[in-house]
């Protein structure tokens, strides 16, 4: 077997399938009440999206705006509350409605003030019925907004996991990634997180930054390890259109940059494993003695997910839906302004999305399982889809095995260490032709 391939190992980070750029207008605008009528609702995921940041990092293509004029965050929470009331009503009362996990993402949820964060929790609890102190609650934060008063609110309201976007502890690398921050300020924020007593701390780091070397990468890793985070996510740098680093467009697929990122990934992987962390996926590493958190999928990318906010997605078994999506600042502002102006009744239908047929459901299950270190069990796949994985994806699985990326013992399909390293090439190869075509036709805005 050979591990060689002409394709770049960094095609795309597959954090959801189908990707949002494959969504389109839904001509029938189905009513949420009808969409959720026959769905299981006893173990839902809840995701609340806050589309505001104090700065926009150079690599970021998330749906978020920089800053907020006076009154906008309050107006946004007003709209979020109206949407929550409409969505909760659409879920009906014919059977039990229970949330098993919750997450606040963005943007930066901690852009909100402490009082606004308390209101956000109230919306989740009182409008949606989520018991935040009884389920895992994950919240994203930035060092600048991880203030003591905000963290106190989050801890008191049941946050079990806080994810801090650090990216690099080397100041020059943070500047190169257009993330203005100082190591001293980041470590002060980490100290506040630990003092707040939130059980799980996750630190995000990025490799492949201009000027980064193995020495500086290890330096960042060691500073992070000194805080004994329960989790660490290691992300390869991507340069995407319409972002601050977009001027470097064209470097994706550059063999020298690919080799640098692969080398730094392997250095980071081996370093964390040597320090008692287990690898959960290409990106995620968990300290061996960390408290259990339930599902690893903190982005709630599972069927049965309710997303609130103009940048959130919702998933039923047959339809994924959301609001409009953009990266350009002017377009993002337009979408947010439209969202905050909506009356409650305007949240009762799905407007933009993608239908999920049997083939797409199989691909989604395969992607979500195979890209995790634990792999895909044949019996679980067969129980859901009536056949073995290779009956539906034999050519793709054979190709991965030939490259040395996949092992199959007849019970479990699992990526090899080299396969995990190439997760961002494996994921896109499993996209359906229809999704590829829709993504190619998407007009960036």
Where do the domains of the chain lie, and which CATH numbers do they carry? 20-287 (3.80.30.20), 358-439 (1.10.10.920)
Q: Give the whole-number percent of the chain exceeding pLDDT 90.
A: 77
- Dist. CA 319–CA 364, nearest whole Å: 13
* Separation CA 231–CA 288 (nearest Å): 9
Whether omega before 18 lies within 30 degrees of 0, making that bond cis, reads yes
Number of C-alpha atoms within 13 angstroms, CB side, residue 176? 16
Directed axis angle between helix 114-122 and helix 72-91, to 10°? 10
Give whole-number Cα distances, 36 to 299, 315, 319, 340, in Å. Answer: 20, 10, 10, 24
Q: Distances in Å between the alpha carbon of 431 and those of 46, 360, 407, 438?
A: 26, 9, 21, 11
Q: What is the pLDDT of residue 27?
A: 95
Task: Quote the CA–CA distance of 281 and 423 in Å, as a whole number.
Answer: 9
pLDDT of res. 445: 67
For residue 202, what pLDDT is reported?
Answer: 97
Non-local CB neighbours of 314 within 8 Å, separated by 6+ positions:
305, 306, 307, 320, 321, 322, 350
Tally of helices (H runs) and strands (E runs) in the chain:
15, 18
pLDDT for 252 equals 54
Which of 7-11, 81-85, 89-93 shows the lowest per-residue confidence on average (mean pLDDT)? 7-11
For the stretch 309-346, pLDDT in tens is 998 999 999 999 999 888 778 888 899 999 999 999 99
The alpha-carbon radius of gyration of the chain (Å, integer) is: 21
Rounded CA separation 256/312 (Å): 36
Whether the link from the prior residue into 107 is cis, omega within 30° of 0, is: yes
Cα(136)–Cα(298) distance, integer angstroms: 9
Q: Is 375 left (phi over 0), alpha (psi -120 to 50) or beta?
A: left
- As a whole number of angstroms, the distance between CA 73 and CA 65 comes to 11
Alpha-helical runs (H) found in 92-159: 114-122, 148-156
Q: Which three-class secondary structure string do you get for 162-209?
A: EEEEEECCCHHHHHHCCCCCCHHHHHHHHHHHHHHCCCEEEEEEEECC
What is the pLDDT at residue 102?
96
Q: With beta carbons less than 8 A apart as the criterion, state whether 162 and 193 touch.
A: yes
Q: What are phi and psi of 409, to 5 degrees?
A: -100, 15
Do 291 and 304 contact (CB within 8 A), yes or no?
no
**pLDDT single digits (tens) 189-213:** 999 999 999 999 999 999 999 899 9
- The tens digit of pLDDT for each residue in 209-252 reads 989 999 999 999 999 999 999 999 999 998 755 444 454 554 55
């Amino acid at each position: 077997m050979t591990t060689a391939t002409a394709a770049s190992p960094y095609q795309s980070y597959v954090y959801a399938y189908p990707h949002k750029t494959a969504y389109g207008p839904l001509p029938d605008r189905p009513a949420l009440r009808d969409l959720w009528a026959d769905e299981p609702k006893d173990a839902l995921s809840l995701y609340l999206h806050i589309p505001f940041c104090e700065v926009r990092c150079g690599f970021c293509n998330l749906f978020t705006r920089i800053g907020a004029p006076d009154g906008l965050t309050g107006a946004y929470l007003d709209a979020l509350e109206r949407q929550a009331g409409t969505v909760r009503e659409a879920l009906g009362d014919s059977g039990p409605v229970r949330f098993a996990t919750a997450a606040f993402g963005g943007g930066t949820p901690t852009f909100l003030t402490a009082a606004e964060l308390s209101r956000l929790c109230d919306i989740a609890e009182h409008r949606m019925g989520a018991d935040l102190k009884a389920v895992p609650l994950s919240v994203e934060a930035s060092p600048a907004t991880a203030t003591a008063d905000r963290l106190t609110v989050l801890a008191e309201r049941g946050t079990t996991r806080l994810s801090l976007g650090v990216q690099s502890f080397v100041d020059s690398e943070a500047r190169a990634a257009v993330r203005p921050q100082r190591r001293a300020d980041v470590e002060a924020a980490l100290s506040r997180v630990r003092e707040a007593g939130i059980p799980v701390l996750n630190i995000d780091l990025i490799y492949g930054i201009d000027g980064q070397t193995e020495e500086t990468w290890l330096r960042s890793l060691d500073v992070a390890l000194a805080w004994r985070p329960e989790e660490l996510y290691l992300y390869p740098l991507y340069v995407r259109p319409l972002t601050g680093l977009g001027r470097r467009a064209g470097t994706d697929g550059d063999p020298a940059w690919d080799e640098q990122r692969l080398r730094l990934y392997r250095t980071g992987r081996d370093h964390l494993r040597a320090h008692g962390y287990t690898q959960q996926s290409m990106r995620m590493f968990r300290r061996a003695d960390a408290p259990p958190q339930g599902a690893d999928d903190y982005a709630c990318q599972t069927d049965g997910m309710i997303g609130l906010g103009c940048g959130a997605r919702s998933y039923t078994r047959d339809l994924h839906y959301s609001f409009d999506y953009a990266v350009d600042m002017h377009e993002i502002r337009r979408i947010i302004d439209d969202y905050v102006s909506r009356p409650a009744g305007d949240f009762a239908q799905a407007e933009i999305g993608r239908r999920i047929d049997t083939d797409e459901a199989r691909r989604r299950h395969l992607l979500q399982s195979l890209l995790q270190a634990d792999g895909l069990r044949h019996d679980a796949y067969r129980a859901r889809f009536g056949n073995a994985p290779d009956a539906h994806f034999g050519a793709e699985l054979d190709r991965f095995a030939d490259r040395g990326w996949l092992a199959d013992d007849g019970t479990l399909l699992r990526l090899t260490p080299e396969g995990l390293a190439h997760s961002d090439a494996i994921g896109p190869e499993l996209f359906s032709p229809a999704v590829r075509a829709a993504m190619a036709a998407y007009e960036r805005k």
